[in-house]
Amino acid sequence: MLPLTEELLWLALIFLLVSVGAFALVYRLTGTRRSQDRLQSGLEAESKPELALGSMTEGLAAQLPVGTQPGSDIHRELLAAGYYRKSALTEYAAIRALLTIGPLIVAGIVAALAETSQLWLILGLGVIGAMLGFSLPRVYIVLRGRMRARAIERGLPVAIDMLTLCLSAGQNILGAIQRVASEIRFSHRVLADELEIVYRHAELHGLQLALQQFADRVQIPEVRNLAMILIQFERLGTDASTTLLEYAQNLRTTLRQRADTKANQTMFWMLFPTLLCLWIPAAIVLIGPAVLEFQNFRRAGTEQLRDARRELEEYNREVEMRFRPPQEEQNR
């Protein structure tokens, strides 16, 4: 009969070997299937981009697959977050699988080495870690997309004003976009990068398609309206300066109103911490005197009760001394 510690070590080693073997088998099968697909499609010589987790990226991504359709929610969220690489969805799935399976494996190894009383605690922590690993990458993508959207919205009025100046000076829309992208790179880098992408796409496929892709990537109503305005003026060949100036002014008004709304909401939400901070001093001011008076009353009552007991004991002692028979009669 093996000792308990050695038995747990052997169980942990067996669990680790089985997990590694299963993962290697799945990775081998998925790798073979992908190799066959590439051979059939004639893409063996195509250069693959460098992946986030190296050669393990595709194997990990196959463990927890996600929707790969171009119009899926995760695909739109990745585009809004600024991840435009073809392998972005695969890398996202691989990282999420690693963060989900990793805590379960670690929890299993630790549970095999720990005591029986701590087994459920360790397994619960492993399940919680797996749930966080599954959800946190999606939360990060959504938050990053919102931050980029706010940065683009802040830079749009300035970019539209500069675009209007360039168009008024005689430049075409494509040249104006290139000029604005180079000028606002220091102050609004995210918007400058997007305009640079628009310029590169317009050189390859035309301005209309580039602007449509710009609106699909950013997914902001203001950007979609700007793309529609530029497409219409590019198609009709008319002057867009006046319309762009009015649109920039409307954007500033909208941003100002949005800022006022957030300021009003901030004042409302600040009431709760203010009340919580004022509750303690208010309680001290309102309840403190009553508590102090009650303590003084209790202290005075305790002293009076102690004095009464002392007087009663002295009275009993005097009564005993008065009615006690003399010593001589006791001796008789």
Parse the chain into domains and list their residue ranges.
4-41+49-113, 148-265
pLDDT of 131 above 80: yes
User: Structure pTM?
Assistant: 0.62
**CA-based R_g, the chain, Å:** 38
Highest average pLDDT, of 61-65, 78-82, 199-203, 307-311, comes from: 199-203
The per-residue pLDDT for 26 is: 57
Beta strands in 135-275 (DSSP E): none
CA 102/CA 105 separation, integer angstroms:
5
Each residue of 229-283: pLDDT tens digit?
888 887 776 667 777 888 888 888 888 888 888 888 877 788 777 777 877 777 7
Q: What are phi and psi of 218, to 5 degrees?
A: -80, -40
The per-residue pLDDT for 158 is: 86
Per-residue confidence band for 204, with pLDDT thresholds at 50, 70 and 90 = confident
Sequence-distant (6+) residues with CB within 8 A of 322 are: none
Q: What is the overall mean pLDDT for the chain? A: 76
Mean pLDDT calculated for residue range 215-228:
84
Is the torsion defined by CA of 212, 213, 214, 220 positive or negative? positive
The per-residue pLDDT for 46 is: 40
Phi-psi region of 82 (alpha: psi -120 to 50; beta: other; left: phi over 0): left
The per-residue pLDDT for 66 is: 65
Each residue of 107-122: pLDDT tens digit?
888 777 777 777 788 7
Each residue of 179-188: pLDDT tens digit?
888 888 888 8
Q: Which residue has the higher pLDDT, 117 or 20?
A: 117
